[in-house]
Structure 1
Amino acid sequence: MSDHILTQLDGGVLTVTLARPDKKNAITQAMYSALAAATRQARTDDAVRVILFQGQGDSFSAGNDIADFIAIGGGQETQLVDAPVFQFLRALADLDKPAVAAVRGRAVGIGLTLLLHCDMVVVAEDALLSAPFVNLALAPEAASSLLLPAVLGHQRAFEVFALGEPIDGRTAMAWGLANRAVAADQVDATAAELAAKLAARAPNSIRKTKALMRDAEAMWALMQREGEAFGSQMRSPEAMEAFMAFSQKRKPDFAKAG
């Protein structure tokens, strides 16, 4: 488990908090292991009716911890699909109980794609959501190559992936990524209110409704295909250039990439 993932069960709502505010809640592999355990608990514990994801501090999540992922990329013998991040993704694919997210500040990479697995999302109006996989010479994950176009349409989704530019909370709601866009200081309360309403609904009816709306096995199969593309890109020269540029706070130079 990780000290940077906090859980609390109250009134049927399991609140899972990303608690690494000094790093904008960038997610390490240890944090992914804890997130996977919490998500599995949400599915198997009858006391849990709803899982609520939120972040400490001024950001939901800055995405994957880059140093952590560079270390994985250097491990040629380890398959990415065996990494803790994929334990979490499998748990998300299997989750048949409602998931709610409360998003303030930045939601980057997995910080955005996690929202596609949530059934209700509350964003701050000034939140900034982005999926800069191509900026890092990577590929989409978390079944987002299917789920994001399903929500936004191909053109908008491709722009989000290919350009990596953020959209604000108002745009996220207008495009269908969120249920509510509210002032930043109202995000947690609004999300908690929605989670409580869901927890009061007939639990088996809710689970069957969610299960009918998604194909967990197909989603997991896609996550594995994405993982192959993501893993091959992580070990590519262009990704190494992107990671180096990120650490040196400069723009990457892909002029020689082909």
Structure 2
Amino acid sequence: MNPVILSTQSDAVLTLTLNRPDKLNALSNSMYTRLADLLLAADEDPDVRAIIITGGEQCFTSGNDLQDFLQHPPTHLGSPAFRLMQAVIHLEKPLIAAVCGAAIGIGTTLLLHCDQVLITRNAKLRMPFVHLGLCPEFGASLLLPRLLGHARAARLLLWGDALDGTQAVALGLANEVLDDGEQCLAAAQHMAERLLALPNEALLQTKRLLKQPVMKELEDTLRRENLLFIERLNSHEAKTALNAMLQRIQ
């Protein structure tokens, strides 16, 4: 059986690839756990200096695996999805996302924590939390309004509007738009390799300085969002919407 998370290393660049194409890279609890473990290990490994996260050339991720999510929902702040969030926000090493195709839900909110985001023109970013009876996660309620302003953030979080790659770059959610998946992955690798020539301690300290001003507020927001997310999952609204969505995709 092929692993659902591929971990490969070239020089000091670690690439983590979501590898569940038959499910559009939908994230299960076991995938969240594995990703968190790999990121935590990479942060401690002196042979890793930059990390790329991708879903391959066709799809970044369709978000949560709804069946797994409904059967094993997060019930506490140490649940697998929330543990991944903690690993990402405290990651010391540069994180680059190569986003090809769809990036739904946490596939979009994860990008708010990446140091660079390379994206394909045909990408589809969407955060349908309200549509599913849920609330934002991964600090999106704090970071999106700061990045985009209230009105634009509201369009994405309240209305659940989608963005393509060009629109994502225009809004500042991504850095560079590429024509296809092959170019996107190559650009991410090139971006990571550029870091290898830089003084490593200066690089790490600069990332810490970039994150420090918002870290306490982000941790507080993450806690509030996640506790409310657990509460929302137990609501009639969310159960109805999630089950209806699951029936449509099965």
What TM-score do you get using the length of structure 1 for normalisation?
0.91
Report matched runs for 1:5-84 at 5 Å.
5-56=5-56, 58-73=58-73, 79-84=75-80
**Can you list the C-alpha shifts for 1:210-242, whole angstroms capped at 9, x where unaligned?**
111113444233211110111100000000110
Q: Among 191, 201, 215, which residue is 2:188 paired with?
A: 191
* 1:57 CA drift (Å): 5.1
SS of equivalent residue, structure 1 residue 164: coil
Aligned-partner Cα distance in 2 for 1:130–1:56:
18
Q: Among 87, 94, 108, which residue is 1:91 paired with?
A: 87
Q: Among 144, 147, 157, which residue is 2:143 paired with?
A: 147
Aligned-partner Cα distance in 1 for 2:196–2:77:
33
Matching residue of 1:229 = 228
* 1:199 CA drift (Å): 2.5
Matching residue of 1:132 = 128
Percent of aligned positions that are identical: 40
SS of equivalent residue, structure 2 residue 193: helix
Do 1:21 and 1:57's aligned partners in 2 also have CA atoms closer than 8 Å?
A: no
Report matched runs for 1:246-257 at 5 Å.
246-249=245-248
Aligned-partner Cα distance in 2 for 1:161–1:14:
32
> What number of residue pairs does the alignment pair up?
245
- Structure 2 unmatched runs, 5+: none
Q: Among 184, 190, 205, which residue is 1:208 paired with?
A: 205
Aligned-partner Cα distance in 2 for 1:94–1:128:
27
- Structure 1 unmatched runs, 5+: 251-258
* 1:145 CA drift (Å): 1.2
The one-letter code sitting in structure 2 at the alignment partner of 1:109 is G
**Can you list the C-alpha shifts for 1:19-69, whole angstroms capped at 9, x where unaligned?**
001101000000001100111122111111111001035210001111111
RMSD of equivalent CA atoms: 1.6
SS of equivalent residue, structure 1 residue 213: helix
Superposed structure 1 runs of 4+ greater than 6 Å apart: none
Aligned-partner Cα distance in 2 for 1:68–1:226:
21
203-212 vs 18-27, which deviates more? 203-212
80-89 vs 96-105, which deviates more? 80-89
* 1:200 CA drift (Å): 2.2
SS of equivalent residue, structure 2 residue 70: helix
Aligned-partner Cα distance in 2 for 1:84–1:225:
17
Aligned-partner Cα distance in 2 for 1:246–1:182:
31
Aligned-partner Cα distance in 1 for 2:107–2:28:
13
Aligned-partner Cα distance in 2 for 1:90–1:127:
26
Aligned-partner Cα distance in 2 for 1:97–1:248:
40
214-223 vs 31-40, which deviates more? 214-223
232-241 vs 156-165, which deviates more? 156-165
What TM-score do you get using the length of structure 2 for normalisation?
0.93
Aligned-partner Cα distance in 2 for 1:28–1:247:
14
The one-letter code sitting in structure 2 at the alignment partner of 1:193 is H
Aligned-partner Cα distance in 2 for 1:219–1:96:
16
Do 1:25 and 1:56's aligned partners in 2 also have CA atoms closer than 8 Å?
A: no
Aligned-partner Cα distance in 2 for 1:19–1:220:
29
Aligned-partner Cα distance in 1 for 2:167–2:152:
11
* 1:71 CA drift (Å): 1.5
